[in-house]
Chains A and B, each alone.
Chain A
Amino acid sequence: MGETKIIESIKGLSKEEYLLKGHIACAGCGATIALRLLFKALGNRVIMVIPACCSSVIPGPYPYTSFAVPVQNIIFESTGATASGVVAALRKRGINDVTVVGWAGDGGTFDIGIQALSGAAERGTDFIYICYDNEAYGNTGVQRSGATPYGAWTTTTPTGKKERKKDMPFIMAAHKIPYIATACPSYPIDFIRKLRKAREIKGTRFIHLLAPCPTGWRYDASKTVQMGRLAVQTGMWVLFEIEYGRFKLNPPSDELIDKAKRRPLEEYLTLQGRFRRLGEEDIQKKQKWVDEDWERYRRYHQTMCLI
């Protein structure tokens, strides 16, 4: 493993592919772009623990798989627990150069899997947990989850969700784990840097990854990278890290503290069919929440206080 290798451009990425051809993800799947980057960042000395989610389907059915790393598939709510078992067995067997990665969707993290994740984090389990968040139960056909944002259409919120999204990174921050980061595959260098940094830290590391989903969000599959960028540029999604309790905004989010620099939220919302029903008032409400969150982030970032 050695030193954390920082790359300046995606041209510096490994040519090795551990996400092989033949996977069966939807066209334009943000999570799959992120998986490819994940393997490039961490290489193949990785054991994945994957619960029921899109990524239990993406590798393809038995007897094939498009993942060139070992995978333990597990029941929906158990990523944190099963990863704890893998970590314990590796330690007992004296294997210390393999990174255990839990890779779960938002349903498996925010909702049904939050107990096992909380337990694993509280026990200081030495693994990286990545929540790839497409803001709904994508694999079962887009039902609302605790990660679905206010106003979004899903098949179980046909007139739009009435509640706000949980603040998952700060729930994890309350566990006092050493490393928390947000990411988005539209910013691959940032994501890769965070993965490599996470790999060098002992204990539970949590990465919350926004994974744009053309199928659930109702936008054209060619626009996934743009959708992620818009999420960040409007300030709807914020790239940050919380390292040993210290919060820090990362580029390009660190340039967006001044509201004038953030693009209006409409630009992000109007491109997605799931927000089609949002009225002017709803958009204002959402804009207000974004601005309130930013005030909090500004304070954390500028004062460098302990979260």
Chain B
Amino acid sequence: MAQTVIDTANHIAAYAAKAARVQVIAAYPITPQTSIVERIAELVESGEFDAEYIRVESEHSAMAACIGAAAAGARTFTATAAHGLVLMHEPMHWASGSRLPIVMPVANRALGPGWNIWADSTDSMSQRDTGWIQFYCADNQEVFDTIIQAYKLCENERILLPAMVCLEAFILTHTYMPVKIPDQEKIDDFLPHYKPNWILDVSNPLSHGNILSPEWYMEFRYMMQESMENAKQLIPEIDKEYSKHFGFEHGGLVDKYKCDDADLILLTVGTIGSEAKVAVDNLRREGLKIGSARIRVFRPFPKEEIRKLAENAQMFAVIDRGISFGMEGFIAEETKASLCSQNDRPLIAGFIAGLGGRDVTFKTIEKIAKKSAEWMQRGRIEKETVWVDLKE
């Protein structure tokens, strides 16, 4: 029988690793990820979770150990946040270039200085060029489901890339919500045992990652790009298949809410997307034709879906809980890049909000939407990037 548990997203992530029958975990503690690795330790040491657990001495080593474990044929898991994630930057490139389907929850947290342990997506979004697939979750159920889906996706031979599953610091990591955990048998049907295509094997000695000359390097990188393109097709398919098995669907690449007839569309990520739905309902009651599109997958970026959304909308208001210094919010940037080849483009305004864990509630979003609606009616935006609630 499927069971409903009420727990934090971090604990749920640990249960998802167990449900995915992960074989090797290598992890290092960092706030606000700690309760993932603590719960895994409890599950492993009580014998409920039959896995090898390597308590490494840094996040850099966590990722390097995951590479070794995945290359030696194990389904592999780690989790991190913020400074731990950016310390992994180098081995993350090595993991994706090695085509290893490692899955890693990232508790999105701000980077210092000053020390700040609260929500911010600059940590993971600044890793966008590492060749990792990136999912962003809006609630605890989605965290569980996406971890299972991520293994299914990453281990597909058309993909063979690692994936991050991002959940915002405290807003999700430490918040209790009811989550339905399906029967293990059914999960096993959906996600069979890991069958790697190649492996470190003494009976078939291969050298992984040796010198790659200019004659070959580009071809290997092209294959990674092809896999990212394949992921755009497979992610919605796997989300649908998951929903057939377990009843939950999360929107594939983009979780759209009341977008069909919307003039103004809010583009969001993570829990800001949940708050945006409340704002949409409130503003629709006031007569504004507004919708919300929550970007669930940042890499590969769903540019085709963005183009489709742009066909009928007059304006996009893009809300970023992160900033690429010297440019603008990550999603605003990617949205514009996705549309630059289109003839009819909606107005696009970027809003930087909630950095370092500042609250972004439906009220904040309504304010953003009203400002945007004003600009939409005038037919031009006053500011490309607005810092919301900034102390002057």
Using CB atoms and an 8 Å cutoff, list the residues of chain A in contact with chain B.
44-47, 49, 56-57, 59-63, 65, 67-75, 77-78, 80-93, 98, 115-116, 118-119, 122-123
Contact = CB atoms under 8 A, between A and B. Distances in A.
Given A62-B211, A89-B23, A118-B57, 17 more contacts: A59-B207, A70-B202, A70-B204, A70-B207, A71-B206, A73-B208, A74-B68, A74-B94, A78-B61, A82-B64, A82-B67, A87-B68, A88-B65, A89-B69, A89-B73, A91-B52, A115-B61
A49 B64 CA distance: 11
B95 to A, nearest CB: 10
Contacts of B38: none
A86 B72 contact: yes
A70 B23 CA distance: 21
Given A59-B207, A89-B72, A78 B212 contact: no
A90 B72 contact: yes
Interface of B: 23-24, 26, 51-52, 54-58, 60-62, 64-74, 76, 90-91, 94, 200-202, 204-213, 216
Contacts of A78: 60-61, 64, 67, 91
Contacts of B213: 61-62
* Majority secondary structure, B binding face: mixed
Contact of B74 (A71, A83, A93): A93
B216 A62 contact: yes
B211 A60 contact: yes
A75 B70 contact: no
B70 A73 contact: no
Contacts of B61: 78, 80-81, 84, 115-116, 119
A114 to B, nearest CB: 11
A89 B53 CA distance: 10
17 contacts: A44-B202, A62-B216, A65-B207, A65-B210, A70-B201, A70-B202, A72-B200, A80-B61, A81-B65, A84-B26, A85-B24, A85-B71, A85-B72, A86-B72, A91-B52, A119-B56, A119-B58
Nearest to B91: A75
Contacts of A91: 52
Contacts of B68: 49, 72, 74, 81-89
A119 B23 CA distance: 21
A59 B208 contact: no
With a 10 A CB-CB cut-off, give which of A60, A85, A91 has the most chain B CB atoms. A85
B205 A68 contact: yes
Contact of A84 (B23, B65, B207): B65
A73 B94 CA distance: 10
Contact of B67 (A44, A46, A85, A119): A85
A230 B70 CA distance: 44
A123 B57 CA distance: 9
Contacts of B56: 81, 84, 119, 123
A72 B208 contact: yes
Contact of B57 (A74, A92, A122): A122
Nearest to B202: A45
Contacts of A49: 68
A88 B26 contact: yes
A57 B65 contact: no
A178 to B, nearest CB: 19
B200 A70 contact: yes
A74 B67 contact: yes
Contacts of B66: 85
A69 B202 contact: yes
Nearest to A66: B207
Contact of A86 (B90, B200, B204, B211): B200
Nearest to A93: B73
A68 B202 CA distance: 9
Contacts of B94: 74-75
A75 B321 CA distance: 32
B77 to A, nearest CB: 12
A85 B67 CA distance: 7
Contacts of A56: 210-211
A61 B91 CA distance: 21
Nearest to B25: A88
A74 B69 CA distance: 12
Contacts of A44: 202, 205
A116 B74 CA distance: 21
A61 B210 contact: yes
A89 B57 contact: no
A67 B72 contact: no
Nearest to B57: A119
A116 B209 contact: no
Nearest to B93: A75
A46 B69 contact: no
With a 10 A CB-CB cut-off, give which of B202, B204, B216 has the most chain A CB atoms. B202
Contact of B211 (A57, A116, A118, A123): A57
B57 A116 contact: yes
A60 B56 CA distance: 32
Contacts of B208: 70-73
A77 to B, nearest CB: 7
Contacts of A115: 57-58, 61
A48 to B, nearest CB: 9
A70 B58 contact: no
A67 B205 contact: yes
B60 A89 contact: no
